[in-house]
Amino acid sequence: MKSILFLLAAISTLFLAACTPEYEENADALGFTAPTAQTVEKNKAVAKELPLGDTRDFEDAKRGLIAVPKNLKIEGDDGEILRDMEAFAFLKGEVPGSVNPSLWRQARLNNIHGLFEVTPGIYQLRGFDISNMTIIVGKTGWIIVDPLTTRETAAAAIAFAREHLPPKPIKAIIYTHSHMDHFGGVLGVITREEAVRDNVQIIAPEGFMEEATSENIMAGTAMSRRAVYQFGLRLPSSERGYVDTGLGSRIPFGTYGVLVPNVIVDHTPQEMVLDGVRFVFQFTPGSEAPAELAFYLPDSKSYCGAEILSHNMHNLYTLRGAKVRDALKWSGYIDEAMEIFGDAEICFASHHWPVWGKERARDFMEKQRDMYKYIHDQTMRLANSGYTPMEIAELIALPESLDMEFANRGYYGTLSHNSKAVYQNYLGWYDGNPASLNPLPPEESATRYVEYMGGADTIMEKARQSFDDGDYRWVAEVLNHLIFAQPDNKNARALLAKTYDQLGYQAESGVWRSEYLSAAYELRHGSPDTPMDISKIREVMKQTPPARFFDSISVRLNGPKAEGKNMVINVHFTDLGDNYVLSLKNAVLHHKMASPDPNADVTMEITYDLFIRILIGEAGLKETIFSDDLNVAGSRMDLLKFLMLLEKPNNNFNLIEP
């Protein structure tokens, strides 16, 4: 987030303080109120339930430390701070009442950063990004596993490694899976030209490029807006603000890239020798990512679990929105690894810290395996007894043998929303109750709720009493109706913001905390007014097949406005040599790669590079249409009319109000 947004937020805070002093009482600079007595007591109860005095994870997280960067701060090309570990210095203090003590512990662990030796020949850079970069030393060079999220963070990490390890050329790069935080920084590790010149092997699971370049295309706008909440992008790092994701510290938003894989993993076991190092790959599609792999290094008896293993309960459903993940399949892959690589003495992964020792590694894997299968089996047991997703989320609980393991705690995923994901995977959104089949839309139902409940004043009086009683979940539900009925009700917004503060402070999940506190922030300061800069993803977009962009263009078509309009357009990419035929009929846009339609209304010739520049806003659409950079046969006005049927996505739509 740019510094100007902080300035605007501060100005907004001063204005709101004058308008609604009741919720600014005992609040921090951005309006986050102090933890109530009920929140403090609830967090103290969590501290008593868990063995927080167990220091084994801290010992493991520090084991093999070679060097720590002084004042780790990474800037983007525009001067924006992408990484600042000093911003989390507050974690060195005692746990405050505004943070769940279990999440505080996890945040402190994720704040341990630097260059570490896992075992001779295997090193990890942790804390430069939300994910880990692993360096495996080969006979003549380095094998890089997961080159982080952005070019800037990856460049800083690899430079730090070269300061403290004998520098070697990069011989291979492994992408464990298709999420951006595991490949987006590759151009900070090596340039395209160097990769081609040195014949660098780029290893990835089957389906990687399709998933890596298309996962967020169709619903990217909605997902990016929701990600603002999931990752607390507008929250300051503080005791009352952002603390941790649970999976790692903040996600950096810098410049992203990708190199196309030239070696594919598509089965288990798949043996390979990379620069003299023996690998046995495990193909794990449809687990934490649609395209994923893990691997075993038999010479050091080390298993890289990618992201099917981590020191937290992972997401079966992500709050930003995504296809649900298969808990049964996920558990099965861990079980398969235990069978095939049963002599593993070290487990390391794409996040967090390793586990050493054959017995401990097996116990870690076993409990992660059983956690996901328990969630799956018990959710479906309850579903088959007629329980709905909301009811299952309240009933399900891990057995003590799994629940007391810190690596199974809900720091990222939670038992509540993961059980709903399992239900959704099998039974979908409908809970079987006809009242849920066709309910009124939120604004209309909210207006009626408020009327039925005696009006806004009555609701506020009761809500204040429930807040004082610490009944925050109920207050949130009630006031949500009031705000959807009366979005300008300042007293309701103020009290709901205070309520979300408390729910955030109590959350063990880092992303639940960010969701609640982001909602509180926007109730006080409004939705963001600065769109995300998608030009930073240019290098990834260049590797995205045109068909995926035409898919996204199809969902931008305004159907009602397109009704009755028929058109055929040829789009010829001169630098690719490919032609796509777009056909508009019945208010639906179809596309296919085919020879040019001789009867098309419009034929346009354009370079793919210019096409990408238009998509990311670097080239103006109307100006381009009437410029010499675009060759058009047919009516340019017809082309413009077609383009005017496409809606520009709203990156900053409301989430917690109409």
Residues 464 and 560 placed together within one structural domain of the fold: no
Q: Please report how the helices 510-525 and 220-230 are oriented relative to each other, as an axis angle in degrees rounded to 10.
A: 100
Residues 549 and 493 placed together within one structural domain of the fold: no
Count the neighbouring beta carbons within 10 Å of the beta carbon of residue 89. 11
The one-letter amino acid code at 496 reads L
Residues 487 and 580 placed together within one structural domain of the fold: no
- C-alpha–C-alpha distance, residues 58 and 54, integer Å: 9
Residues 624 and 552 placed together within one structural domain of the fold: yes
- C-alpha–C-alpha distance, residues 574 and 578, integer Å: 7
Q: Are strands 355-356 and 588-593 parallel, antiparallel or unpaired?
A: unpaired
Residue 574 lies in a domain: yes
**346 strand-pairing partners:** 302, 356
CA nearest to 498, candidates 16, 4, 32, 14 = 32
Sheet holding 346-348, edge to edge: 270-274, 277-283, 293-297, 302-304, 346-348, 355-356
Q: What is the CATH number of the domain that holds 575?
A: 3.30.1050.10
The encoded tokens of residue 301 equal 């008896």
Residues 117 and 211 placed together within one structural domain of the fold: yes
Residue 650 lies in a domain: no
Residues 262 and 200 placed together within one structural domain of the fold: yes
Contact predicate 110/159, CB 8 Å: no
Residue 55 lies in a domain: yes
DSSP state of 161: H
Q: pLDDT for 257-276, tens place per residue? A: 999 999 999 999 999 999 99
Residues 483 and 600 placed together within one structural domain of the fold: no
- Cis amide bond preceding 546, omega within 30: no
Residues 498 and 605 placed together within one structural domain of the fold: no
Query: In percent, how much of the chain has pLDDT > 90?
Result: 82
- C-alpha–C-alpha distance, residues 645 and 640, integer Å: 9
Task: Give the total number of structural domains in the chain.
Answer: 3
Torsion sign over Cα 426, 429, 430, 431: positive
Residues 365 and 456 placed together within one structural domain of the fold: no
Residue 84 lies in a domain: yes
Range of the domain at 612: 545-643
In the prediction, which pLDDT does 153 show? 98
**Segment holding 543, helix H or strand E:** none
Report in angstroms the alpha-carbon separations of 343 from 277, 360, 361, 390, 421. 18, 12, 10, 41, 33
Residues 209 and 342 placed together within one structural domain of the fold: yes
Q: What is the CATH number of the domain that holds 478?
A: 1.25.40.880
Residues 198 and 86 placed together within one structural domain of the fold: yes
Of 317, 349, 370, the position where a domain reaches its end is 370
Residues 450 and 329 placed together within one structural domain of the fold: no
Please give the average pLDDT of every successive group of 10 residues along the chain, which has 658 residues: 32 30 59 96 97 96 97 90 94 96 98 98 98 98 98 98 97 97 97 97 96 79 90 95 96 93 98 98 97 98 98 96 94 98 98 98 98 98 97 98 98 98 97 95 96 97 98 98 97 98 98 98 89 74 88 92 96 94 97 96 91 80 72 89 88 90
